[in-house]
Structure 1
Amino acid sequence: MNGKKYSVVIAGGGSTFTPGFVLDLIKSQDKFPMRQLKFYDNDEERQRKIGEAVKIIMKERAPQIKFSYTTDPKEAFTDVDFVMGSIRVGKYHMRSLDEKIPLKYGVNGQETTGPGGMAYGLRSIPAIIQIIDWMQEYSPNAWMINYSNTIAIVAEACRRLRPNAKVINICDMPIDDMDRMAAICGLDSWHDIDFNYYGLNHFGWWKEVRNKKTGEDLMPKLKEYVKDHGYWVGGDYDKDTEPSWEATFRKVADDYKMDPETLPNNYMQYYYFPQYEVANADPKHTRTDEIREHRQKIVFGECERIVKAGTAKNNIWDISGLHSEYIVDIIHAIAYNTHEKFLANCPNNGAISNMDPDSIVEVPALFGADGIQPMATGKAGRFQRGLMMEQQTCEKLVVDAYEQHSYQKMLQAFALNKTVPDASVAKKILDDMIPVNAPYWPELK
């Protein structure tokens, strides 16, 4: 420990994930001591609901940490060491349209894959670039840890538009899969696993999984389990898992059969079996509706309860969350230069030896005070490389569309995507998405 206490701003203070993240930050004061925590959001009312509850949490559990929330960028981004990017441009209203418009034409509707993911990515680019610019203006020595989707598209935009910015783009979804692998193998958590993984965001494969302490190869045991059960663990581990996620983790059994030499990220089902996803979707009730009915209602209800009671005792976030713990681990590694291994979305530059240097890939990297050092993962298999080349070209075309205000480039991105059957369907989806995205997208000509 260097004796320093850190200042953090969460960009997206109104997120339903924010309270859980704050609780994990508080619990981690021995490894990441803080002097200040700020929230920034452009939705004042939504942030106030979260912020007033967190104010009580901070007063009760970490009164030594100065806390505030604001809609003023200068106030938010001045005097900070870390910016945590957790924004959703257009909020759940636009996510719902990302899911439902493609389903109208028999195409998978999902927030980070297919046309919905590309639409979301195009919305996110200007907002993330703006946050980077505020950070560089008001706290030029700060690091931004961005986990705002669509990560691959945002990371490509950062590579092109802000190549020298101190921004690291991460995703916590593989950690969820690895924690399940640990449970399958009788280990305590994903921290007990060492791994070799490669791919794109929400689009990757494990080449190697080992017991970090003993070096034991866990792949044979995992493959035997996954071929029948996917990543579904069941029992106490999954007692709070929602039905749609249960289906996702079980479907990994079919994903695995596409290449039994590796273990897939659970998102591969959207690319391997897009028509299965459409057949099993309800175009009138998608994942966004589930969130509105469950997580969003629960989180804002709990915040209201805390404010009314004037105490945060026995709140619903007292059990640590896997995803927020992961983010705390990452900022600790950067703050204390530990060079721990986590996954990053970054320019390839040889990490996957048979992919282009400027491809944005998701690979293991060592995290330290100077940022990340991507690790070599070897060659991508022929099957995987073919899939990756197609998908990362779609992502690059979306950023082309942003830079050039190009309808043609966005249409090409949709038409090329593996989830879309042909160009005529791609055009229908795009033409429906343009008017609803008018407040967020550049004008496509």
Structure 2
Amino acid sequence: MTIKLVVIGGGSSYTPEIIEGIILRHHSFPVTEIVLVDIEEGNQKLEIVGQLAKRMIEKSNKPIKLSWTLDRKEALKQADFVSTQIRVGGLTARSKDERIPLQHGYIGQETNGAGGIFKALRTIPVLLELARDVHEICPQAWVINFTNPAGIVTEALLKHSPHKKVIGVCNIPYNMRYSTAEILNTKPKNVMIEFIGLNHYVFGRKVFVNGVDYTSEVLTKVSQGLDYSPANIVNLGWSKTFIEATSLLPNPYHQYYFQTAAVLKKDKQALEENGTRAEVVRRLEKSLFELYKNPDLCDKPKELEERGGAFYSDVACSLMDSIYNNKADIQTVNTLNKGAIPELPEDSVIEVNSVITKNGPQPITVGALPNSVKGHIYQMKAFEELVIRASITGHYKDAYLAMVMNPLIGDEVGSKTLLDALLEAHKDYLPQF
């Protein structure tokens, strides 16, 4: 039996992590072919990553055929899994998403606020086109999306493309579980967090270790300064009052919404001292690709973990393994609500623990939203729907509504000023507008 994986955005610096994940799981998930796909602008990186991936596979001695190409439609033929890790406009676009809002006095971040909106506006049309190709060329394939903003993008694909075998993944629940295991001095496999909410807006409601409730202990430690943030987010800590009042485990992205003034001040200072996070990543990627060029390098370098999205690929590989083997294990994914959170629409995408089967994720019912954050989650879901609508219609008023209803922007005059600046900055990647 053959298993073919196509990696869209194959020239990404994250790709060695996917290759490593496939190699490590080959005993249970025996992939026979991997095709790395990129666009002309990424051809040089694709060649470098392809050569490293080839060396990694050769060292592993696994019977995996590897190739790389710019011909997406040819690559998709007979694919079983298609992973997506693209950045429309590259790091230059990300830098604009971060710098321009900061210049106007708003949070500048690649997946939240105005930057996240514009990342979605650029990305959704491109991935809708990919989903149509998948549906026509390899309708049996599962699309595993870890292109951000993952929840919004996944909902757009499930609602507006003919292809319904789409699952979104994020490294934040993974990060939270591993960090929680660290502070409880146990192994991550022993930890289960009950998640409730949306991508980058998900809370941990309960924490269990081997079935025993450790929520109180974890919340106490978080209020004492636990740092469980990824590399791209500097943790500011949480007050005891906030943790006790909400009785929820926040994720690292919540600081943008509940510590906005402090984050804005910190980010403005970082901009002056080091440039945008995109510019920091550009320097990091330059050094990573120099490492990748080394003909003696046959493994994923440790330095890759300095990227904020490290471990995304590991999450994706675990998900594909579970689908292929019908494992019925529990993983946290972005998928259709289907009543798991009764207050949200059935066809909205939430981030939720799900039983992973050969037919995809079956979300586990988590029940009513906590009163402490119910209003926020309603607003965020309505905002996400506005972003999706704007990305498809290309109507100015739809984009404006998305901006003004985002809790990190809100101001009706400021929203228009910021919208106009970002539309002009990204016009080459927004043909729908």
Q: Would you identify which runs of 4 or more consecutive aligned residues in structure 1 move more than 6 Å?
A: 318-321
What is the CA distance between 1:74 and its match in structure 2?
2.3
What is the CA distance between 1:112 and its match in structure 2?
0.5
Q: Which deviates more, 143-152 or 157-166?
A: 157-166
Letter of the 1:20 partner, please give it: E
Q: Which deviates more, 257-266 or 424-433?
A: 257-266
User: 1:378 aligns to what SS in structure 2?
Assistant: coil
Q: 1:377 to 1:255 in 2, by over 3 A?
A: farther
Counterpart residue number, 1:289: 279
Answering whether residue 18 of structure 2 is matched by residue 37 of structure 1, we say: no
Letter of the 2:10 partner, please give it: G
Specify every segment of 5 or more residues in structure 2 that has no aligned partner in the other structure, as ranges: none
- 1:169–1:345 CA contact under 8 A, matched in 2: yes
Answering whether residue 280 of structure 2 is matched by residue 323 of structure 1, we say: no
- 2:14–2:304 CA contact under 8 A, matched in 1: no
User: 1:145 aligns to what SS in structure 2?
Assistant: strand
Aligned length: 423
Distance 2:244 2:75 in 1: 47
Counterpart residue number, 2:132: 133
Aligned ranges for residues 21-32 of structure 1 at < 5 Å?
21-32=18-29
Match of 1:357 among 333, 346, 349: 346
Distance 2:119 2:72 in 1: 23
- 2:16–2:300 CA contact under 8 A, matched in 1: no
Q: 1:415 to 1:430 in 2, by over 3 A?
A: same
User: 2:429 aligns to what SS in structure 1?
Assistant: coil
Match of 1:300 among 289, 300, 312: 289
Answering whether residue 55 of structure 2 is matched by residue 56 of structure 1, we say: yes
Distance 2:422 2:240 in 1: 32
TM-score by length of 1: 0.90
Counterpart residue number, 1:238: none
Q: 1:341 to 1:6 in 2, by over 3 A?
A: same
Aligned ranges for residues 27-426 of structure 1 at < 5 Å?
27-42=24-39, 43-62=42-61, 64-162=63-161, 164-189=163-188, 191-212=189-210, 215-232=211-228, 242=231, 245=233, 247-248=234-235, 250-253=236-239, 256-257=242-243, 259-282=245-268, 283-284=271-272, 285-294=275-284, 296-306=285-295, 311-313=296-298, 316-317=301-302, 322-426=311-415
What is the CA distance between 1:290 and its match in structure 2?
1.7
Answering whether residue 418 of structure 2 is matched by residue 429 of structure 1, we say: yes
CA offsets per residue over residues 21-55 of structure 1, 9 Å max, x none? 21121121112111111101112222112112222
Specify every segment of 5 or more residues in structure 1 that has no aligned partner in the other structure, as ranges: 234-240
Letter of the 1:316 partner, please give it: P
Letter of the 2:374 partner, please give it: R
Distance 1:319 1:432 in 2: 33
Counterpart residue number, 2:14: 17
Q: 1:298 to 1:138 in 2, by over 3 A?
A: same
Distance 1:128 1:255 in 2: 42
Distance 1:41 1:80 in 2: 16
- 1:270–1:277 CA contact under 8 A, matched in 2: yes
Letter of the 1:223 partner, please give it: L
Distance 2:190 2:377 in 1: 29
Distance 2:393 2:156 in 1: 13
CA offsets per residue over residues 55-92 of structure 1, 9 Å max, x none? 22222323521100000012211121111111111111
- 1:107–1:274 CA contact under 8 A, matched in 2: no
What is the CA distance between 1:313 and its match in structure 2?
4.3
What is the CA distance between 1:318 and its match in structure 2?
10
What is the CA distance between 1:274 and its match in structure 2?
1.7
- 1:256–1:263 CA contact under 8 A, matched in 2: no
CA offsets per residue over residues 310-361 of structure 1, 9 Å max, x none? x334652599964333222111110011111112222323111222333321
Distance 1:314 1:40 in 2: 21
Q: Which deviates more, 253-262 or 73-82?
A: 253-262
Percentage of pairs with the same residue:
27
What is the CA distance between 1:390 and its match in structure 2?
1.2
Letter of the 1:229 partner, please give it: G
Letter of the 2:388 partner, please give it: V
- 2:81–2:143 CA contact under 8 A, matched in 1: yes
What is the CA distance between 1:253 and its match in structure 2?
4.9
User: 1:264 aligns to what SS in structure 2?
Assistant: coil
User: 2:424 aligns to what SS in structure 1?
Assistant: helix
Counterpart residue number, 1:236: none
- 1:83–1:144 CA contact under 8 A, matched in 2: yes
- 1:411–1:426 CA contact under 8 A, matched in 2: yes
User: 1:79 aligns to what SS in structure 2?
Assistant: coil
- 1:230–1:253 CA contact under 8 A, matched in 2: no
